[in-house]
């Protein structure tokens, strides 16, 4: 990827920086790459490139083309001569990505693990990367990547965090040091998500129950009396829309949040319940409609109808149950 605009950080490639690789080219990967202004070539690899569905493969190739990156069919090709490697996969695949990348990493390459995983998961991935001779960086993405893109706030941690800060600053990214240990950034991200994703789940359960009972306006008015600064209808619409679009991914993150709490010797009952609601709504795969982020009532009605459809599904069909087993 080569940009030629007048961005103040644009410069000729450093002789020690050969290529940038992105593993996992979903929303975050595309948002970052689309904002970078660098002459350094960018390669990307995503497992959807190998998907048996030709439409999925074609869609990912279109993503590569749209972002003007070199899309690779194999992870080894993406990592060849890459000094900066961004791992942006699902939480469940973070360790798998590290294992797949390790044999192909350049000695001393920065492996920036930006995945939403527990500190213990980060440390396991760090051991894999370190054994390969590369430098693992614990990176936490601290806000949605849209609309801020590559300027989304990041926390970085680990023994090579200073080098990572320099590399990220060169790409005009907004990174802050979180601490010297692997897991320091992840801990902040995961524990914050107990509240942030948990609040989404609480509002989801509250609004759906209130809407089904026909008392949603009264409930939101009552909440506004107690917390008038929150703008409950607008917040409810926004949070319901976020869960509808990203619930499955958020559920994966909440599993890592629960692991974080459990690793601390506490009971992750709230995080576990949040995971259930996030996954339950995410699995509905509701198609986005205009106004979803503005009208909580219409979106709540669609969610309730979809939940009823799942309850009425034939016995041999995938369905939502009242309890989901935690692993």
Q: Please say if the pLDDT value at position 297 is more than 60.
A: yes
Q: In this predicted structure, what is the pLDDT of residue 292?
A: 80
Share of the chain above pLDDT 90, in %: 85
Give the mean model confidence (pLDDT) for residues 242-269: 97
Q: Please say if the pLDDT value at position 296 is more than 80.
A: yes
Angle of the 296-311 helix axis to the 216-226 helix axis, nearest 10: 130
Structural domain count, the chain: 2
Give the mean model confidence (pLDDT) for residues 88-95: 96
Distance of alpha carbon 177 from alpha carbon 180, whole angstroms: 8
Q: Please say if the pLDDT value at position 321 is more than 50.
A: no
67, part of any domain: yes
Same domain, 48 and 176: yes
Q: In this predicted structure, what is the pLDDT of residue 291?
A: 77
Q: Which of 10-14, 302-306, 313-317 has the lowest average pLDDT?
A: 10-14
Same domain, 32 and 170: yes
Domain boundary among 182, 207, 238: 182
Q: Which of 142-146, 209-213, 249-253, 307-311 has the lowest average pLDDT?
A: 307-311
- Which long-range contacts link 263-268 to residues 24+ away (Cβ below 8 Å)? 263/118, 263/119, 263/120
Which residue range(s) make up the domain with 65? 19-182
244, part of any domain: yes
Same domain, 199 and 96: no
Q: In this predicted structure, what is the pLDDT of residue 287?
A: 84
pLDDT in tens, 59-83: 999 999 999 999 999 999 999 999 9
Give the mean model confidence (pLDDT) for residues 187-191: 98
Same domain, 33 and 89: yes
What CATH number does residue 176 fall under? 3.40.50.720
Same domain, 146 and 84: yes
pLDDT band for position 201 (cuts 50, 70, 90) = very high
Same domain, 51 and 119: yes
DSSP state letter for 158: S
Task: Using the structure block, give the residue that is written with the tokens 């993405």.
Answer: 141
Same domain, 30 and 117: yes
Q: In this predicted structure, what is the pLDDT of residue 312?
A: 61
pLDDT in tens, 5-33: 333 333 343 445 589 999 999 999 999 99
Q: In this predicted structure, what is the pLDDT of residue 16?
A: 56
Same domain, 301 and 257: yes
What CATH number does residue 232 fall under? 1.10.1040.10
Q: In this predicted structure, what is the pLDDT of residue 112?
A: 98
Q: Please say if the pLDDT value at position 315 is more than 60.
A: no
Same domain, 116 and 241: no
Same domain, 171 and 237: no
2, part of any domain: no
Residues in contact with 88: Cβ distance below 8 Å, sequence separation at least 6, in sequence order: 22, 23, 24, 25, 26, 28, 29, 32, 114, 115
pLDDT in tens, 167-181: 999 999 999 999 999
Same domain, 210 and 173: no
Same domain, 34 and 90: yes
Contact indicator for 41, 21 with CB cutoff of 8 Å: no
Q: Please say if the pLDDT value at position 3 is more than 80.
A: no
């Amino acid at each position: 990827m080569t940009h030629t605009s007048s961005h103040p950080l644009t410069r000729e490639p450093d002789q020690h920086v050969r290529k940038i690789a992105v593993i996992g080219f979903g929303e975050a990967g595309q948002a970052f790459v689309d904002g970078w202004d660098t002459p350094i070539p960018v390669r990307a690899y995503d497992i959807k490139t190998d998907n048996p569905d030709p439409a999925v493969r074609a869609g990912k190739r279109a993503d590569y083309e749209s972002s003007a990156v070199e899309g690779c069919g194999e992870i080894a090709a993406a990592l060849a001569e890459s000094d900066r490697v961004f791992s942006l996969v699902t939480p469940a695949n973070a360790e798998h990505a590290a294992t797949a990348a390790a044999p192909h990493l350049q000695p001393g390459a920065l492996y920036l693990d930006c995945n939403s995983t527990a500190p213990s998961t980060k440390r396991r991935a760090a051991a894999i990367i370190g054994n390969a001779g590369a430098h693992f960086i614990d990176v936490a993405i601290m806000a949605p990547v849209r609309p801020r893109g590559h300027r989304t706030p990041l926390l970085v941690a680990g023994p090579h965090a200073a080098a990572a800060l320099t590399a990220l600053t060169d790409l005009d990214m907004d990174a802050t040091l979180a601490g010297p240990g692997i897991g320091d950034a992840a801990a902040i991200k995961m524990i914050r998500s107990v509240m942030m994703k948990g609040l989404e789940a609480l509002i989801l359960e509250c609004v759906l129950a209130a809407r089904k009972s026909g008392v949603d306006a009264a409930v939101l008015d009552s909440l506004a009396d107690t917390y008038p600064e929150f703008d409950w209808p607008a917040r409810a619409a926004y949070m319901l829309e976020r869960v509808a679009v990203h619930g499955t991914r958020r559920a994966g993150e909440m599993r890592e949040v629960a692991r974080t709490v459990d690793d601390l010797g506490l009971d992750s009952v709230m995080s576990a319940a949040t995971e259930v609601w996030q996954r339950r709504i995410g699995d509905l795969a509701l198609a986005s409609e205009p106004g979803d982020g503005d009208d909580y009532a219409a979106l709540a009605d669609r969610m309730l109808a979809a939940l009823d459809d799942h309850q009425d599904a034939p016995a041999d069909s995938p369905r939502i149950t009242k309890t989901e087993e935690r692993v």
